[in-house]
Amino acid sequence: MDPVRIIEIKKSVFADNDADAAALRRELKDKGVYLLNLMSSPGSGKTTTLIRLISLLKPSVRIAVMEADIDGNVDAVKIREATGVPSIQLHTGGMCHLDAEMTRQGLDNVDLAGADLVVLENVGNLVCPAEFDTGAVRNAMILSVPEGDDKPLKYPLMFSVCDAVLINKMDVLPYFDFDLGKCREYIRLRNPKAQVFPICAKTGEGLDAFARWLLEEIRDWKKQ
């Protein structure tokens, strides 16, 4: 197997990221590629979730993954070894987020003709990635139980830009003061339309509901 490719992302020069993101979204639509932007705090379980998700989606769609990180290539290697889907690593060189132009630099290294769905695993951070439209059709995020049910109150923008919130590590709920009802309520405050999916990436529990939601989203988007 070839080594996983590592793409060094350069700083963006575009002044108007929103316009650039809209343009990228149109280009991807023309190519029939659905881009999902997956965000979370460090250590919430993005990669494990993604591996589970891919195994559920693989029979229905062709998938490619872009793993964005400050450093390292562990995640891209893990994804490819566990799922067999094409996976590249994006190095942000210390930058805390990806904008549309940086996402485009990554996509230039993906075989888009062979993909229906590209998942961008954004940099682990609840602040900066929320501020930049990547050109994705949908934003999803993972909040894990140990992080606490109050995070929607403290990181309002992240929760307000996400169409789906996965609540991960439900298996350790008994050991933490995490109130799922309260958390749902706080998420609703930020974004009444957000879909909430309690999951356990380690066992795969709950991920089938999210996979169904995403496949339906992709189907609807194709019809538009």
Site residues (vs a copy of itself, CB under 8 A): 41-43, 69-72, 74, 94, 96, 123-128, 131, 144-148, 150-151, 153-157, 169, 171-172, 175-176
- For a copy of itself, the closer of residues 106 and 124 by Cβ is 124
Complete edge-to-edge strand list for the sheet that includes strand 87-91: 6-8, 87-91, 63-69, 117-121, 34-40, 138-144, 164-168, 195-198
- For a copy of itself, the closer of residues 104 and 169 by Cβ is 169
Smallest gap from residue 31 Cβ to a copy of itself (A): 31
List strand residue ranges (DSSP E) for the chain, in order: 6-8, 34-40, 63-69, 87-91, 117-121, 138-144, 164-168, 195-198
Smallest gap from residue 158 Cβ to a copy of itself (A): 9
Smallest gap from residue 38 Cβ to a copy of itself (A): 16
What b/e string do you get for 44-69 counting C-beta neighbours within 10 Å, with b at 16 or more? bbbbbbbbbbbbbbeeeebbbbbbbb
- For a copy of itself, the closer of residues 75 and 217 by Cβ is 75
Closest CA to 127 of 103, 95, 91, 104: 95
Smallest gap from residue 60 Cβ to a copy of itself (A): 30
- For a copy of itself, the closer of residues 57 and 102 by Cβ is 102
Smallest gap from residue 120 Cβ to a copy of itself (A): 17
- For a copy of itself, the closer of residues 178 and 210 by Cβ is 178
Expressed in angstroms, the distance from the first to the final Cα of the chain is 38
Q: Which two tokens stand for residue 1?
A: 């197997």
